[in-house]
Chain A
Amino acid sequence: MNKWGVLALVLGIGLAIWAVLRIKPDSGSIARGEKLYELHCLNCHGEKGEGLGRLIPPIHRPEAYSDAELICAIRYGKKGELQVGGIVYDGVMPPNFQLDEGEIRDLAHFVRKKIKNCGDCQELELAEIPVFLSNCTLAQPL
Chain B
Amino acid sequence: MKKQAVFFLVLGLSFGACKTGTDSPSGSLPFLGEMTFMTDANGRADSSVQALPEWRFINQNGDTMHSKNLAGKIRVSDFFFTTCPTICPRMSGQMLRIQERYKGDERIMLLSFSIDAQHDTAEVLKSYAEKLGADTRQWHFLTGEPDLIFELASAHGSFAEADANAPGGFAHSGALILSDRQNRVRGMYDGTNPKEVDRLMADLELLLKEPVEFGPKALELETGLHHE
A: residues with CB less than 8 A from B are: 42-44, 46, 52-56, 92, 94
Query: With contacts A53-B96, A55-B128, A92-B83 known, is A43 near B133, CB below 8 A?
Result: no
A54 touches B85 (CB 8 A): no
Contact check: which of B83, B85, B87, B132 meets A52 at CB < 8 Å?
A: B132
- Ranked nearest first, the 9 interchain pairs of A and B with the lowest CB-CB distance are A54-B131, A53-B133, A43-B90, A94-B85, A53-B132, A55-B131, A44-B89, A52-B93, A43-B87
Q: Tell me the bound Cα distance from A52 to B48 in angstroms.
A: 41
Q: Is B192 an interface residue (CB 8 A)?
A: yes
Q: Can you sample 25 A-B contacts with CB below 8 Å? A: A42-B90, A43-B86, A43-B87, A43-B88, A43-B89, A43-B90, A44-B89, A46-B90, A46-B93, A52-B92, A52-B96, A52-B132, A53-B96, A53-B131, A53-B132, A53-B133, A54-B130, A54-B132, A55-B89, A55-B128, A55-B131, A55-B132, A56-B89, A92-B85, A94-B167
In the complex, chain B residues whose CB is within 8 Å of the CB of A44: 89-90
The contact string, 1 if C-beta is below 8 Å from chain A, for chain B 116-154, is 000000000000101111000000000000000000000
Total number of B residues with any Cβ neighbor in A under 8 Å? 17
A86 to B192, CA, bound (A): 28
B132's nearest neighbour on chain A, judged by CB, is: A53
| A42, B86: Cα distance in complex, Å | 9
Q: Interface digits, B14-44 against A, CB 8 Å rule (1 contact, 0 not)?
A: 0000000000000000000000000000000
Report B-chain residues with C-beta under 8 Å of the C-beta of A53.
96, 131-133
Least Cβ–Cβ distance between B27 and chain A, in angstroms: 30
Cβ-closest chain A residue relative to B174: A43
Write the chain A residue with the least CB distance to B84.
A43
Minimum CB–CB distance from A2 to chain B (whole Å) comes to: 63
- Nearest residue in B to A54 (C-beta to C-beta)? B131
